[in-house]
């Protein structure tokens, strides 16, 4: 296991579209482990592979309810709307309100290549959307409707 460097805004890799994983090999499994370790060390609730410089559609999330590993995640349904304050490990010190769906259903593969379905509400819905955006080169800053002073961050 290893901690990987988190790329910061301005690094062009964060603006590229990540490629689907075709084969879940040892490199992918090592990446998943390293991403989880890197996310926990940085106290993040999620991390997408482009943030560690790898243009693969791989995401890890832990909102405090256990680790979720997602390969090739896709939002298959979404409903409602919520506005919450977001931050990003690639844009340290900046916080802003973003509108997201209230509830999303995501299909993906786990590390064993099994198809999984994750339903998220609240912060989990936000994290799923935020991470999948990273896979498409989208940063939360692109969607901010109001910047928030770090002091008034919820
Ligand atoms: O750690 C993170 N916290 C967070 C808080 C609110 C909304 C989204 C996030 S994701 C972020 C980690 C990160 O940058 N993932 O890409
Ligand atoms: Ni982020």
Q: Is 113 left (phi over 0), alpha (psi -120 to 50) or beta?
A: left
Tell me the pLDDT tens digit for each residue of 49-61. 999 999 999 999 9
CATH superfamily, domain 12-152, is: Peptide deformylase (3.90.45.10)
- In the prediction, which pLDDT does 150 show? 81
87 CB under 6 A from ligand 1? yes
Which protein residue's CA is at the shortest distance from atom 7 of ligand 1?
86
State CA 35 to chain mean position distance. 11
Write out the E strands in 16-57.
Answer: 46-48
For a ligand 1 pocket test, name from 7, 9, 52, 130 the mutation site with the most ligand atoms within 8 angstroms of its C-beta: 130
The predicted model scores a pTM of 0.97
Atom of ligand 1 at shortest range from CA of 43: 1
Q: How far apart are CA 80 and CA 100, in angstroms?
A: 8
39 CB under 6 A from ligand 1? no
130 CB under 6 A from ligand 1? yes
- In the prediction, which pLDDT does 154 show? 55
Number of Cβ atoms within 10 Å of the Cβ of 142: 10
- In the prediction, which pLDDT does 29 show? 98
The answer to whether 37 is a known catalytic residue is no
For the chain (154 residues), the mean pLDDT of every run of 10, in chain order, is 96 98 98 98 98 98 98 98 98 97 98 97 98 99 95 64
Comparing C-alpha atoms, which of 106, 111, 90 is closest to residue 21? 111
- In the prediction, which pLDDT does 1 show? 80
- Residue ranges per structural domain of the chain: 12-152
Comparing C-alpha atoms, which of 66, 34, 30 is closest to residue 47? 34
């Amino acid at each position: 296991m290893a901690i990987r460097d988190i790329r910061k805004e301005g690094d062009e890799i964060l603006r590229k579209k990540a490629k689907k994983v075709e084969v879940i090999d040892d490199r992918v499994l090592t990446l998943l482990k390293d991403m989880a370790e890197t996310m926990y060390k940085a106290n993040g609730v999620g991390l997408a592979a482009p943030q560690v410089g790898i243009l693969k559609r791989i995401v890890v999330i832990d909102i405090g309810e256990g680790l979720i590993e997602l390969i090739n995640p896709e939002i298959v349904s979404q409903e409602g709307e919520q506005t919450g304050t977001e931050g990003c490990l690639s844009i340290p010190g900046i916080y802003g309100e973003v509108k997201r769906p209230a509830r999303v259903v995501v299909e993906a593969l786990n590390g064993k290549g099994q198809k999984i379905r994750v339903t998220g509400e609240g912060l989990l819905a936000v994290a799923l959307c935020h991470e999948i955006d990273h896979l498409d080169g989208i940063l939360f800053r692109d969607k901010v409707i109001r910047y928030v002073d770090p002091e008034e961050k919820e």
